Amino acid sequence: MDYFAQQLINGLVLGSIYGLIAIGYTMVYGIVGMINFAHGDIFMIGGFIALITFLILVSFGLTAIPVILLIVLLVSMAITSLYGWTIERIAYRPLRHSFRLAPMLSAIGMSFILVNFSQVSQGARVKPVPPIIAGGYTLHEGASGFAVQLSNVQILVVVATIVVLALFTWLVSRTRLGRDMRACEQDQTMAALLGVDVDRTISMTFVIGAALAAVAGIMYLLYYGVVDFFMGFVAGIKAFTAAVLGGIGSLPGAMLGGLAIGLIETFWSAYFSVEYKDVAAFSILIVVLIFMPTGLLGRPEVEKV
Amino acid sequence: MSVTPATSSHTSQPLGSAFILKKALISALVALVLFSLMIGIRTEAGNQGGLIYWTRFGDLATMVGVVFGGSIIVELLRQWFGPVETDKVVPKPVRAAMSFVGHWLAPALLAFALFVPVIFYHQRYILDLAILVLTYVMLGWGLNVVVGLAGLLDLGYVAFYAVGAYSYALLATNFGLSFWVCLPLAGILASFWGVLLGFPVLRLRGDYLAIVTLAFGEIIRLVITNWQSLTGGPNGVSGIPRPTLFGIPLDNSDDGLAAKLGIEFSPTHRLVFLFYLILAMALLTNWVTIRLRRLPIGRAWEALREDEVACRALGINTTTTKLTAFATGAMFGGFAGAFFATRQGFISPESFTFQESALVLAIVVLGGMGSQLGVALAALAMIGGFELFRGFDQYRMLVFGMAMVILMIWRPRGLVGHRAPTVYLERSEAISSDLVKEGHG
């Protein structure tokens, strides 16, 4: 039971990270109708920028952890958003009215660019950081000596995810931008006729998605203590799986799917085999798409001729 | 969701140099922010386990300068060539010349390919490269059946390549079966996996299909990596037997081909043999594809690509149509995989990453999806282009990615971007691919 509780905590933390990335996929899919293949790599870039910022701040002698975290968060979100904006501008916007495969292939190319750009610019070796936030609580100590741990990092990841999600929900449901986004999702032509700047709204979608991915990147850095240039690929596919599982296009669904994937992966590693955890995640993707193509919270897609 | 007014792309742009300069400055500024940390600071794991960093502001300044200059050049080129949408009027002689070239290019290339081992007999490097190019031509033609003809976007084609390679490697090393027995087996096994993948994804369309095939490719690779008792895991399979000329080995031994023919042995013999082998296999792929296109099933594939709903309304069984497309494409992938295994003599999961799938897909798309000649030319250009970067391995994929994005923006329909239906009503009319509405494959 203790072991189960521990895995539950680990799974929820991992799921929060996946959920944050999944929102980026689902938003872009909802509005532009394409799979932003490079999104996982934007998450990786976010992690790298957080790492570099952190390193600079520490070397300048800053020791107050909350201040460091705040600056890292802001810098990483800002620069990663700019990456998202630039990618949309260069690789996707010219292809928006092109045939269907074109943006997908362009996105794959962009993904290669990002992966290899960070490999060339930052080297291929894994970058470790010392634990930034130490400590934690022991929730329950069993008779066998197995203790259920809840570390401060885990608390931070979950709390930050909730805060970011609250902000994001407010943005989508209460602001002008959010209304524009929802309008574009339903009907771009009509939205444009009613005075919504479609280009700008789509750009902002990419910017917000990238900012959320940056938050996920920071969480990943804090939680695992490493970044490397290749981490975006697998994380990206898993987050996409999460988005599909939750019902692509649905924002709460993405978070729900993220949590589900995180839990499944953690329990699979804990009870079956660590080697096949990625296989499990990918298999879920296939199974979900076959039996539940609309996901948990998605709308059924009506086939139009 | 389908049609949206192009709001910004058609607005007339000022042509002055001030405009270009302003645009370049903005680009440079964006580049400065983007690259400030990623290029300006270099991190590395230090000796004591911690991280160290050093600054590279020189490189940063260079990159920003490159972006500034590049942006000016791109803008100038764009104004030079005019808007992308305008139709280019091609003078008549040029058009005649192009149709002449188009007519004779394929036979000329084929004739040239036949004589490559004769011309380059003493340049091992070129022979090796030619074999590699032909392998990708074959893979491209195989994938073309799935993507180009049936319109099913497959991002996991490398899985079938892997299945073929491992089938041959394991059958040959464990049971001592010869290449010629294993080749059909590899094809059958790969097409079996193709059907296995095809079944669940029948109902999926477009992007979903792409992601599922991608996941499938990754699953195959992960299983190969982790099933150590069977596949040797990351260490791969080594000591894969070389192919024989129907039982006669091409080696230095007494019953080798050289000894039997009474000529002096040379390692190049094997290369020449491999070259003709893959050439024959690639041509077989091409021939089968061309023949299939004229059969009902090929017509059904093309119909499926154009419009699935209409297909179903006409009574075409989309299930079997899709499955045969997957199986046929996979079979050629399996053949190519078996060839790859016998050529290398060693295979490991590293050869079957997603990058390979993307490369083959890029070849097919660049070749114009459906055009056999285009795919061959694209394979030549891609693999040849890769070879130019032999010295700078780490920049290779970076440039590949950039090429993919630029080509998509510049020619989304591929270099030979025109797909003519094989059958037509009354008179032949090549339909420019830009006019064809995409089916929801």
Q: How far separated are the first and last CA of chain A, in Å rounded?
A: 53
Residue B42 touches partner A, C-beta closer than 8 Å: yes
Q: Which amino acid is at B296?
A: P
d(CA A72, CA B95): 59
Q: What is the distance of C-alpha A145 from the center of its chain?
A: 36
Looking at residue B88, its pLDDT comes to: 52
Looking at residue A215, its pLDDT comes to: 93
Classify residue A169: in a domain, yes or no: yes
> Measured between beta carbons, which residues in chain A are less than 8 angstroms from residue B365?
101, 105
Looking at residue B439, its pLDDT comes to: 43
Could you state, in chain order, the average pLDDT of each consecutive group of 10 residues for chain B (441 residues)? 42 67 89 87 76 85 91 84 55 73 79 81 85 93 89 89 92 86 92 87 75 88 88 84 75 70 75 89 92 89 84 87 91 94 89 89 82 86 82 80 85 62 53 47 37
Classify residue A158: in a domain, yes or no: yes
Angle at which helices B179-201 and B158-175 pack, to 10 degrees? Answer: 140
Classify residue A247: in a domain, yes or no: no
- Element housing B51 (H / E): strand B51-55
Angstroms from B208 CA to nearest CA on chain A: 8
What sign does the CA torsion over A285, A291, A296, A301 have?
A: positive
Looking at residue A303, its pLDDT comes to: 52
Return the minimum-mean-pLDDT range out of A129-143, A272-286, B284-298, B405-419.
Answer: B405-419
- A149-170 per-position pLDDT tens digit: 888 889 999 998 999 889 988 9
Classify residue A172: in a domain, yes or no: yes
Number of domains chain A is built from: 1
Classify residue A122: in a domain, yes or no: yes
Name the residue with tokens 């699953």: B219
Classify residue A287: in a domain, yes or no: no
* Mutation for testing the A interface, residue in B26, B37, B212, B436 having most A CBs under 10 Å: B37
Classify residue A239: in a domain, yes or no: no
pTM of the predicted model as reported, rounded to 2 decimal places: 0.85
Please, which residues bridge with residue B244 across strands?
Answer: B249
Looking at residue B1, its pLDDT comes to: 39
- A220-239 per-position pLDDT tens digit: 999 988 888 888 988 998 89
Residue B89 touches partner A, C-beta closer than 8 Å: no
DSSP-assigned letters across all residues of chain A? -HHHHHHHHHHHHHHHHHHHHHHHHHHHHHHH-S--TTHHHHHHHHHHHHHHHHHHHHHTT---HHHHHHHHHHHHHHHHHHHHHHHIIIIIGGGTTS-THHHHHHHHHHHHHHHHHHHHHH-SS-EE---SS--EEEEEE-TTS-EEEEEHHHHHHHHHHHHHHHHHHHHHHHSHHHHHHHHHHH-HHHHHHTT--HHHHHHHHHHHHHHHHHHHHHHHHHHH-EE-TTHHHHHHHHHHHHHHHH-TT-HHHHHHHHHHHHHHHHHHHHHT-STTHHHHHHHHHHHHHHH-TTTTTPPPPPP--
Angstroms from A22 CA to nearest CA on chain B: 14
Among partner residues B35, B41, B405, which is closest to A91 by beta-carbon distance? B405
- Count how many pairs of residues, chain A against chain B, have C-beta atoms within 8 Å: 202
Contact A42, A24 (CB under 8 A): yes
Residue B401 touches partner A, C-beta closer than 8 Å: yes
What average pLDDT does the segment A89-94 reach? 90
Domain that holds residue A22: 2-231
ipTM more than 0.90?
no
* Mutation for testing the A interface, residue in B33, B35, B36, B51 having most A CBs under 10 Å: B51
Distances (CA, A) of A223 to A212, B29, B269, B427: 16, 33, 57, 66
Contact B68, B25 (CB under 8 A): yes
Q: Which residue of A has its CA nearest to B217?
A: A282
Question: What are the residue boundaries of the structural domains of chain B, listed by start?
Answer: 17-81, 120-410
Classify residue A249: in a domain, yes or no: no
Residue B142 in tokens: 């195989």
